């Protein structure tokens, strides 16, 4: 080899070994000794040449180094490489090492600072045209790595073929590989600072993945979708508001409906865009909430142990088909909420754990970084880049997929450092306390960011403690969520409902206690998937008594729930009283609907949703104390409850009456908010729903002298195990 500015043997050997600290300084087109040279590495080639439209430039193999070729090249940047193998086969391709960087200095700065709100614009795999050539740009954050390479079938999974370039001190590595596009399967081969090659890693910001159990990332072009939901997007702020009727149908897409004649496969996003959307709309729900659809390796996690936070799971189709589902929901007048999991991630080798050979996304100390309950890793919320990764991911789903809201899973596990830990198994905060200030900061920043980008979205916290201000604005000291699941209400009322009616009078307060704090947060009343798994049985199965009593109890409870302040959420299958506990490996028990009692319960849920949406008094002040007034909260011996609901000044009030014993309460004397005719708008004992058709013959008249501070009164009949809802029809 020539001396001076020529390619050194050391450089060539390091390229061959995949150990060169800066392969872009060697490979590609360079000026050496005043001359243009091309250096390339192709271990499959016996001969290699650089070619242009006008000339061919043979490259000579470097003596003693396998696969490295070098030689004079064209002055133009636009050349290709032609290769010939020993068996005579040939191939040609654009040289990835002739292309300049894609990321700019501003990207580097924002990523380093942890303020790149749209991180997915910079990182991940992007199909693009760069310097006039089509291909895919790859970028990944791995600051402690000695080398990062993109590997896949296109380079025989050889990490020496496409090592990436570093970008300053940002810890980001990038490369543009020409010729790659939609559907390319890839991973990152990472060499840690100690020189050890790590297990191949999926892309943390990848937009697609292989079908499990395969786990490589897949290049997906997520640009260019033709949204048709402009009307919805322009009006959705009103649909998600505290004053709006919000009734959520929670769905695990993998087990809602299956194609039994096709091996029991789950329906696709596109099939759900028709069947699920039509079904939820027909039942009067306002929103669909999906259990997590971010890519996850283990079906049994139901999506709550995600690996690919930026990839809609391929189980049901590619990204554009998930958009089809969202778009269809919007055009049908339904919002779509996603469960979002920033609290932990699994330890799968291809995932985020020790991503660059260090505890990068997680805490190094297992007292801070390992969930004992779930055998998962906890994000290092105090690291700016990790916080940015999570906040940006929240914004990603809202912007790229037009999702209307995020329900954040297991918030309590994030808020407390001692969550599910014994003394000595956790690390206190800087003040010696249990609050996780860093996680609190991430949640606040997430809410500020997404609401700042679009005030029409909603965020919802599943928070099981009494942490103050979950749905209070951040600038007022809160976490900034739009809504919070009311777990206390759910636990108390379900405990009450599971008791035999004869014992309920001793637990009367369990149904009233929630009103002591009902307006301290913007609450959603959840009967979620968590209540029908792990041996808890179904909602129907929780109810006491014989078959008739089970249905009557459940109908009365749903009436209580829909009449109670707070937005509503019901998990799939419970709308028709599925008898068995939910099984994620099978579809919900649609055969139940062949039984008129189950069909009647489904009709009740439809009518409850319809009434809830139609009557402002039932939703406008769901989150305000001024929207609720007890009529009778103390009839414990009879297990009777009565209250009034109010909307705006121009809205007529609604009265809700509940009887949780199998004894009819006839002539029950109650105060009424107004004189006049009150229509029996809904009675859970109606024959239509499977009841005994007892009640008030269509309505009652209120008048005379009021009682208990109300201006009027009426004598009402409350059927056994029933809820009756009365609406004011006028004087």
Predicted pLDDT at 5: 60
In three-state secondary structure terms, 107 is helix
Q: What's the pLDDT tens digit per position in 69-89?
A: 999 999 888 999 999 999 999
Predicted pLDDT at 100: 95
User: Could you tell me the CA-to-CA distances from 697 to 103, 282, 336, 555 in Å, in that order?
Assistant: 72, 28, 39, 19
Q: What is the DSSP letter of 582?
A: P
* β 405-408/335-340 pair status: parallel
The answer, yes or no, to whether residue 215 has pLDDT greater than 70, is yes
Q: Residues with catalytic annotation?
A: 409, 462
Q: What's the pLDDT tens digit per position in 600-629?
A: 999 999 999 999 999 999 999 999 999 999
The answer, yes or no, to whether residue 203 has pLDDT greater than 90, is yes
- Do 662 and 501 form a contact (C-beta atoms < 8 A)? yes
- Of 538, 525, 614, nearest to 567 by C-alpha is 525
- Of 417, 397, 425, 283, nearest to 340 by C-alpha is 397
Residues 560, 154: Cα–Cα separation, whole Å: 60
User: Could you tell me the CA-to-CA distances from 305 to 176, 396, 485, 592 in Å, in that order?
Assistant: 31, 19, 21, 31
For residue 16, name the pLDDT band (cuts at 50, 70, 90): very high
**CA-based torsion, 375, 379, 381, 383: positive or negative:** positive
Burial class of residue 197 in the structure, from the number of CB atoms within 10 Å of its CB (0-12 exposed, 13-18 middle, 19+ buried)? middle
In three-state secondary structure terms, 57 is strand
For residue 527, name the pLDDT band (cuts at 50, 70, 90): very high
Residues 384, 173: Cα–Cα separation, whole Å: 18
Q: Give the mean model confidence (pLDDT) for residues 703-718.
A: 94
Q: What is the DSSP letter of 459?
A: E
Q: What's the pLDDT tens digit per position in 426-458?
A: 999 999 999 999 999 999 999 999 999 999 999
Mean pLDDT of the chain: 96
Predicted pLDDT at 1: 36
For residue 2, name the pLDDT band (cuts at 50, 70, 90): very low
For residue 6, name the pLDDT band (cuts at 50, 70, 90): confident
Residues 291, 301: Cα–Cα separation, whole Å: 10
Q: Which residue has the higher pLDDT, 461 or 34?
A: 461
Burial 352-379 (b: 16+ CB within 10 A, else e): bbbbbbebbbbbeeeebbbbeebebbbb
For residue 705, name the pLDDT band (cuts at 50, 70, 90): confident
pTM exceeds 0.85 for this model: yes
Q: What's the pLDDT tens digit per position in 112-156?
A: 999 999 999 999 999 999 999 999 999 999 999 999 999 999 999
Q: Show the tokens assigned to 385.
A: 């880049």
Q: What's the pLDDT tens digit per position in 623-682?
A: 999 999 999 999 999 999 999 999 999 999 999 999 999 999 999 999 999 999 999 999
Which domains does the chain possess? Answer: 9-98 (2.60.40.10), 105-218 (2.60.40.10), 617-730 (2.60.40.1180)
The set of residues, in sequence order, having a beta carbon less than 8 Å from that of 224 and lying 6+ positions away, is none
Residues 409, 339: Cα–Cα separation, whole Å: 7
Predicted pLDDT at 4: 42
- Do 208 and 313 form a contact (C-beta atoms < 8 A)? no
Q: Give the mean model confidence (pLDDT) for residues 155-174.
A: 96
- Do 689 and 555 form a contact (C-beta atoms < 8 A)? yes
- Beta-bridged to residue 715, according to DSSP, are 669
């Amino acid at each position: 080899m020539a001396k001076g500015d020529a390619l050194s043997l050391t450089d060539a050997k390091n390229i061959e070994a995949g150990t060169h600290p800066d392969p872009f300084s060697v490979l590609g087109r360079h000026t050496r000794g005043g001359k243009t040279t091309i250096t390339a590495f192709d271990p499959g080639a016996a001969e290699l040449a650089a070619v242009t439209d006008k000339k061919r430039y043979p490259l000579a193999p470097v003596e003693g180094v396998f696969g490295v070729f070098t030689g004079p090249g064209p002055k133009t940047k636009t050349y290709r490489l032609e290769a010939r193998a020993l068996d005579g086969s040939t191939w040609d391709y654009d040289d990835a090492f002739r292309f300049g960087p894609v990321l700019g200095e501003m990207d580097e700065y924002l990523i380093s600072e942890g303020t790149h709100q749209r991180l997915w614009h910079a990182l991940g795999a992007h199909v693009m045209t760069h310097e006039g050539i089509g291909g895919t740009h790859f970028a990944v954050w791995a600051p402690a790595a000695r080398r990062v390479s993109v590997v896949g079938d296109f380079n025989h999974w050889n990490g020496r073929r496409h090592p990436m370039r570093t970008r300053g001190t940002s810890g980001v590595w990038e490369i543009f590989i020409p010729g790659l596009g939609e559907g390319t399967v890839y991973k990152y081969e990472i060499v840690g600072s100690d020189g050890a090659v790590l297990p191949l890693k999926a892309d943390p910001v990848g937009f697609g993945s292989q079908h499990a159990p395969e786990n490589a990332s897949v290049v997906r072009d997520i640009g260019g979708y033709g949204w048709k939901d402009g009307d919805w997007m322009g009006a959705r702020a009103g649909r998600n508001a505290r004053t709006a009727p919000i009734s959520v149908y929670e769905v695990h897409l993998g087990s809602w409906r299956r194609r039994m004649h096709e091996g029991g496969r789950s329906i696709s996003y596109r099939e759900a865009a028709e069947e699920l959307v039509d079904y939820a709309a027909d039942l009067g729900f306002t929103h669909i909430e999906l259990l997590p659809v971010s890519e996850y390796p283990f079906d049994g996690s139901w999506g709550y142990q995600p690996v690919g936070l930026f990839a809609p799971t391929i189980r049901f189709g590619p990204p554009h088909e998930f958009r089809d589902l969202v778009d269809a929901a919007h055009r049908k007048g339904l919002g779509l909420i996603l469960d979002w999991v920033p609290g932990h991630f699994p330890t799968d080798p291809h995932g985020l754990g020790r991503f660059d050979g260090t505890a990068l996304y997680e805490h190094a100390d297992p007292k801070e970084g390992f969930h004992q309950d779930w055998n998962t890793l906890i994000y290092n919320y105090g690291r700016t880049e990790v916080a940015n990764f999570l906040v940006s991911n929240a914004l990603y789903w809202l912007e790229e997929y037009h999702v209307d809201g995020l329900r954040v899973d297991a918030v309590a596990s994030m808020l407390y450092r001692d969550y599910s830990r014994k003394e000595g198994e956790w690390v206190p905060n800087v003040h010696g306390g249990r609050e996780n200030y860093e996680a609190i900061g991430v949640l606040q920043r997430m809410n500020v960011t997404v609401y700042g980008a679009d005030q029409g979205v909603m965020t919802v916290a599943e928070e099981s403690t009494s942490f103050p201000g979950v749905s209070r604005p951040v600038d007022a000291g809160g976490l900034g969520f739009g809504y919070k699941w009311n777990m206390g209400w759910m636990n108390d009322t379900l405990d009450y409902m599971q008791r035999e009616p004869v014992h309920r009078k001793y637990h009367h307060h369990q149904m009233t206690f929630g009103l002591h704090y009902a307006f301290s947060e913007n609450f959603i009343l959840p009967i979620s998937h968590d209540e029908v798994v792990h041996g808890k049985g179904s909602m129907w199965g929780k109810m006491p008594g014989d078959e008739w009593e089970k249905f009557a109890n459940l109908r009365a409870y749903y009436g209580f729930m829909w009449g109670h302040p707070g937005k509503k959420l019901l998990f799939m299958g419970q709308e028709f009283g599925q008898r068995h506990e939910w099984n994620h490996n099978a579809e919900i028990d649609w055969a139940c609907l062949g039984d008129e009692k189950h069909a009647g319960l489904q009709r009740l849920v439809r009518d409850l949703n319809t009434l809830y949406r139609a009557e402002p008094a039932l939703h406008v002040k769901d989150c305000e104390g001024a929207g609720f007034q007890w009529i009778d909260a103390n009839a414990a011996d009879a297990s009777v409850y009565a209250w009034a609901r109010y909307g705006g000044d121009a809205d007529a009030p609604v009265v809700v009456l509940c009887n949780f014993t199998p004894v009819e309460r006839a002539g029950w004397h109650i105060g009424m908010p107004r004189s006049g005719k009150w229509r029996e708008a809904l009675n859970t004992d109606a024959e239509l729903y499977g009841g005994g058709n007892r009640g008030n013959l269509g309505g009652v008249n209120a008048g005379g002298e009021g009682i208990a501070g109300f201006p009027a009164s009426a004598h009402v009949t409350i059927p056994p195990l029933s809820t009756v809802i009365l609406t004011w029809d006028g004087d």
